[in-house]
Chain A
Amino acid sequence: MKLRDLTELAARNLRESLLRNSLTTMGIAVGVASLVAMLSLGVGLQNLANAKLVHSGLFDAVFVSSTSMERGFDRPRAPRDSEEPAHPLDENARQSILKLPFVIDAYPEIRITADVLYDGKPHMTSLAGLPQSTRNDGAFEGMKGNFFSGAAADEAILQVEFAKDLSDQPDTLLGKELVLRYAVREALPAESNGAASEGGAVRGQSAGEAAGGELPGGFSVVPHERKLRVVGIIETEPSGGYGPFSRGRVFVPLSIAQEVQAGQTSNLQDLIRGAAAKPKFGSLTVRVNNPKNVEAVEGAIKKMGFSTFSLLDASHNLALVFTVFDSFLLIFGSLALVVASLGIINTLVMAILERRREIGVLKALGAADRDIRKLFFAEAGAMGLLGGILGVVMGWGIGKAITFGTNVYLHSLNLSSANISSVPWWMVGLAIGFAFAVSLVAGIYPASRAARLNPVEALRYE
C-alpha cells in the first residue's frame, strides 16, 4: 500500500475511536511534557550557570604571568646571563597577545593602595583599574549608577562596603566627587639633578641615566590630586585576575590606575634599576571572546613562553556535572514516556480485537501482512508524533510556568529575575523523535499480532 493511502487509512482509523485515541495521545503528550519540562530546566539552569560564570569574567579569561613568577621559593633558579626573564611580560608581549585569534583584550592587573579624600576626611583604600572591556561583567549587573563613560574618564565606581565607610547613605554618593591623592613622577631640569625638590618630593638621583634616557634630567616624585566623580556602586567585585580575588574597593578606568601606579614605590624601584624604558607587567588578564576558546588562547600564550592560568578545568567539571544532571532528568522524564507507551500498546491491542473482522476483510481484498503491520505502525506513529508535538508545547509551557513562579519568588526576595528553563531546537527534535520512536516500538507487538491474524478466522469473528 502506498504511503498516502496508508496515512489516510490510519487517520480514518484514529478518528474512528477518537476519545480513546485522544486519551492515548494525551498520555504520550504528558510523558513528553515531563521529559521536556525536566530537560528544559536542566538546560536552562546550565545556561544560567554558564551565563553567570561567563559574565563573572572568570571563565572567559586567561591570566598570564611571566615564567619567572612561577618559580617556587625552594626551587633553584635557572642560570641565566641577566636578571631579565627569558620572555618579559611587557607592552610588546601584550601587543602580541592582542593579535592572537579570539582575544578581545589584554590588560595588566593594577591594584594599589591609595589615599581617597571625601568630605575632607582621608581614607586609605585599595584602588583597581578596569578596562572598558569589563563593562559587561556580571559584577556590574544590578549596579547602581553607570559604568565609566570613557576609557580615561575621571570617574570612580565604589564597592558598596567602601561606600558605606564614606556615607551612611551610600546611594547619595552617586554624582559626588572624591579626591584621589597619589604621587607622580615629574621630570627635573638637567641642571637641577641632585638638588632638593620642592615640597619634599622624592629625589631620583641618577635615575634618569639609569632609565635609559627617559628622564635625562632625573625626576622627582610629587604629590598629585585628582577629582573623581562617583558614577556607580557595586555589590560584588569584578574578577580579580591572577592572585587574590579581592581586588579593590575603588575602581577607576585602567589608564588612571596606570598613571597612579607609576608613582608607586615598586615602580620607582624598577625605574631606578633601569627597567622603566620598557615597563613590565606583573601579570596580564586576557579576555577571550568565548569560554570555548580559552583553551586555544591559553595554548598559544604558553607557546609564547608565558605561564597561564584559567578556570578551564572548573568549566569542564561544571559541564560534566550538568551532563550527569541532564542524564538523570532524561532518564526520569523518559519513564513517563515509557508508561505512556504502554497506553499505545493497550489501545492498539484493543483496536485489533475491535477490528478483527476488518483486518480479515482487508486481507481478503488483497492486503499483505506487511500492509496490516504498516497500518498499525502508522497509527502508533501518528499518536506518537501528535503526542510528541503536543508534549513539547506542554513541556515548554510547564517550563515557562516554573520560570514565572520562580521569578515571582525571586522578586519577593528583591533578587533579579532569571530564565531557568530553555527549550532549544535540538530538544524539540529529540522529544518528538523520541516520542515517535517509542510509539513505533510500542506498536511492534500489536502490529505483528494484527499482521499474523488468520484471515479466515478473522472473517468469522463477530
Chain B
Amino acid sequence: MTSDGLAIRTENVARHYQMGTTLVRAVDDVTLSVRAGEFVALLGSSGSGKSTLLNLAAGLDRPTSGAIYAHERNLAAMSSEELARHRSHTIGIVFQAFNLLPRMTLEENVELPLRLAEVDRGERAARVREAVERVRLGARLTHRPSELSGGEQQRASLARALVNRPTILLADEPTGNLDSATGDEIMLLLREINEKMGMTIVMVTHEQPRAEKFAHRMILMKDGKLISDGVQR
C-alpha cells in the first residue's frame, strides 16, 4: 500500500481528557490506515471511542498524542484556520441528528458549505442542484427541515456534505435516528456515492449487520482501542 492511496492514516493517535479526577482515554494508541475509495465501518459500543476518532479525522478535535493524516497532511500540526479549510474542502460530515439549520430551506442548508468555502455565487445554484439531485431531493428544495421526513433530512444532510465535492465522507451514526427501511435507503445512497464517485467513506455505527451488508471493511473499537480490523469482502 503506497501513501498516495491513503485517505486517512493514524499513528499511535490518542485522545485523552480529564473528567473530574478521572483520565478518560477516549482514543488510545490507535494506528490504522484507510485507503482512498474505501467504505469503512467503525463499530463499537457506546463510549468505545469511534466518534472521537471520527472527530479527530474531521479536524473537529485534536489528538492528545500521535498523528492523524488526511491525504498525508498531518491534522495535528495544522492551525485552526487550516483545519477549517480541511473541513471545508476535504471532508464532508453527516451527523446522526442531521443538524440541518431549522430556519433555512433545504436549498439554503445545502448552499451553506459553499458560502463558507467562498464559492462564486454563479456556481452555487448548479452545485446545490447537483448535490440535491444525487440524493433525489430535487423536488424539496424550498422546504424547511421541519417539513421533511427523517430520511429526507438525512439525505439533505448528505447533499450538504457532498456539495463541496470532498474526497472523504465521515458519517456519524447516519442511520441512528431512522427506521430500518429508511436506514437502508441511506446506506444504499452511501454505497452508491462510494462506488460511483469513488469517495472514501468512514461510517461510525453500532449496527453490525448493516455494516456487514454495506461496508468494505469493519474496524471494531473498544475502550478507545482498536481491537479488530477486517476486510469484509
Interface size on B, residues (CB 8 A): 26
User: What are the interface flags for B55-74 relative to A under an 8 Å C-beta threshold, 1 for contact and 0 otherwise?
Assistant: 10010110000000000000
Whether, in the assembled complex, A295 has its beta carbon less than 8 Å from a beta carbon of chain B, the answer is no
Known: A364-B93, A369-B81; 7 extra A-B contacts, CB below 8 A, are: A16-B103, A366-B84, A366-B113, A367-B116, A368-B81, A455-B60, A456-B55
CA distance A4 to B160 in the complex (A): 20
- Of all chain B residues, the one with the shortest Cβ separation from A12 is B103
Whether, in the assembled complex, B141 has its beta carbon less than 8 Å from a beta carbon of chain A, the answer is no
Whether, in the assembled complex, B164 has its beta carbon less than 8 Å from a beta carbon of chain A, the answer is yes
Interface SS of chain B = helix
Interface residues of A in 288-342 (CB under 8 A from B): none
Whether, in the assembled complex, A1 has its beta carbon less than 8 Å from a beta carbon of chain B, the answer is yes
- Of all chain A residues, the one with the shortest Cβ separation from B88 is A366
How many A-B pairs fall under 8 Å by CB? Answer: 65
Interface residues of A in 419-436 (CB under 8 A from B): none
13 contacts between A and B (CB under 8 A): A2-B118, A9-B115, A357-B99, A364-B58, A364-B95, A364-B99, A366-B116, A368-B81, A368-B84, A454-B61, A456-B60, A459-B60, A459-B99
Whether, in the assembled complex, A362 has its beta carbon less than 8 Å from a beta carbon of chain B, the answer is yes
CA distance A84 to B151 in the complex (A): 111
Q: Is the CB of A365 within 8 A of B116?
A: yes
Q: Which 9 A-B residue pairs are closest in the complex by CB-CB distance?
A: A366-B88, A368-B84, A5-B115, A366-B116, A365-B113, A366-B87, A361-B99, A455-B60, A367-B116
User: What are the interface flags for B66-102 relative to A under an 8 Å C-beta threshold, 1 for contact and 0 otherwise?
Assistant: 0000000000000011001101110001010001010
CA distance A456 to B17 in the complex (A): 13
User: What are the interface flags for B94-126 relative to A under an 8 Å C-beta threshold, 1 for contact and 0 otherwise?
Assistant: 010001010110000000110111100100000
CA distance A266 to B84 in the complex (A): 96
Q: How far is the CB of B86 from chain A (nearest CB, A)?
A: 8
CA distance A455 to B112 in the complex (A): 17
In the bound complex, residues from chain A placing their C-beta under 8 Å from that of B60 are 363-364, 455-456, 459
Interface residues of B in 143-179 (CB under 8 A from A): 160, 164
Q: Is the CB of A456 within 8 A of B80?
A: no
Q: Is the CB of B80 within 8 A of A365?
A: no
Q: Is the CB of B116 within 8 A of A362?
A: yes
Q: Is the CB of A368 within 8 A of B118?
A: no
Whether, in the assembled complex, A371 has its beta carbon less than 8 Å from a beta carbon of chain B, the answer is yes
Q: Is the CB of B89 within 8 A of A366?
A: yes
Q: How far is the CB of B89 from chain A (nearest CB, A)?
A: 7
- Of all chain A residues, the one with the shortest Cβ separation from B56 is A456
Q: Which residue of A4, A363, A366, A369 contacts B117 across the interface (Cβ within 8 Å)?
A: A366
Residues of B in contact with A (beta carbons under 8 Å apart):
55, 58, 60-61, 80-81, 84-85, 87-89, 93, 95, 99, 101, 103-104, 112-113, 115-118, 121, 160, 164
Q: Which residue of B99, B103, B115, B160 contacts A1 across the interface (Cβ within 8 Å)?
A: B115
In the bound complex, residues from chain B placing their C-beta under 8 Å from that of A137 are none
Given A5-B115, A9-B115, check contact A366 B99 (CB 8 Å): no
In the bound complex, residues from chain A placing their C-beta under 8 Å from that of B84 are 363, 366-369, 371
Residue among A2, A361, A362 with the highest chain B CB neighbour number at 10 A: A361
Whether, in the assembled complex, A90 has its beta carbon less than 8 Å from a beta carbon of chain B, the answer is no
User: What are the interface flags for A1-38 relative to B under an 8 Å C-beta threshold, 1 for contact and 0 otherwise?
Assistant: 11011000100100010000000000000000000000
Interface residues of A in 366-414 (CB under 8 A from B): 366-371
Q: How far is the CB of A100 from chain B (nearest CB, A)?
A: 64
- Of all chain A residues, the one with the shortest Cβ separation from B120 is A2
In the bound complex, residues from chain B placing their C-beta under 8 Å from that of A361 are 99, 101
Whether, in the assembled complex, A270 has its beta carbon less than 8 Å from a beta carbon of chain B, the answer is no
Whether, in the assembled complex, A115 has its beta carbon less than 8 Å from a beta carbon of chain B, the answer is no
Interface residues of A in 218-262 (CB under 8 A from B): none
CA distance A9 to B88 in the complex (A): 18
Whether, in the assembled complex, A177 has its beta carbon less than 8 Å from a beta carbon of chain B, the answer is no
In the bound complex, residues from chain A placing their C-beta under 8 Å from that of B95 are 364, 459
In the bound complex, residues from chain A placing their C-beta under 8 Å from that of B164 are 366
In the bound complex, residues from chain A placing their C-beta under 8 Å from that of B121 are 4
Q: Which residue of B80, B89, B101, B112 contacts A368 across the interface (Cβ within 8 Å)?
A: B80
Whether, in the assembled complex, A214 has its beta carbon less than 8 Å from a beta carbon of chain B, the answer is no
In the bound complex, residues from chain B placing their C-beta under 8 Å from that of A16 are 103
In the bound complex, residues from chain B placing their C-beta under 8 Å from that of A366 are 84-85, 87-89, 113, 116-117, 164
In the bound complex, residues from chain B placing their C-beta under 8 Å from that of A365 are 87-88, 93, 112-113, 116, 160
Whether, in the assembled complex, A358 has its beta carbon less than 8 Å from a beta carbon of chain B, the answer is yes
In the bound complex, residues from chain A placing their C-beta under 8 Å from that of B88 are 365-366
Interface residues of A in 345-362 (CB under 8 A from B): 357-358, 360-362
In the bound complex, residues from chain A placing their C-beta under 8 Å from that of B81 are 368-370
In the bound complex, residues from chain A placing their C-beta under 8 Å from that of B55 are 456
- Of all chain A residues, the one with the shortest Cβ separation from B170 is A364
In the bound complex, residues from chain B placing their C-beta under 8 Å from that of A5 are 115, 118
Q: How far is the CB of B63 from chain A (nearest CB, A)?
A: 13
User: What are the interface flags for A173-213 relative to B under an 8 Å C-beta threshold, 1 for contact and 0 otherwise?
Assistant: 00000000000000000000000000000000000000000
In the bound complex, residues from chain B placing their C-beta under 8 Å from that of A362 are 112, 116
- Of all chain B residues, the one with the shortest Cβ separation from A365 is B113
CA distance A4 to B113 in the complex (A): 15
CA distance A422 to B84 in the complex (A): 51
CA distance A356 to B3 in the complex (A): 38
Q: How far is the CB of A367 from chain B (nearest CB, A)?
A: 5
In the bound complex, residues from chain A placing their C-beta under 8 Å from that of B89 are 366
Q: How far is the CB of A449 from chain B (nearest CB, A)?
A: 15
Q: Is the CB of B61 within 8 A of A369?
A: no
Q: How far is the CB of B231 from chain A (nearest CB, A)?
A: 29
- Of all chain B residues, the one with the shortest Cβ separation from A371 is B116
Q: How far is the CB of A46 from chain B (nearest CB, A)?
A: 49
In the bound complex, residues from chain A placing their C-beta under 8 Å from that of B117 are 366
Q: How far is the CB of A359 from chain B (nearest CB, A)?
A: 11
Q: Is the CB of B80 within 8 A of A1?
A: no
- Of all chain B residues, the one with the shortest Cβ separation from A15 is B103
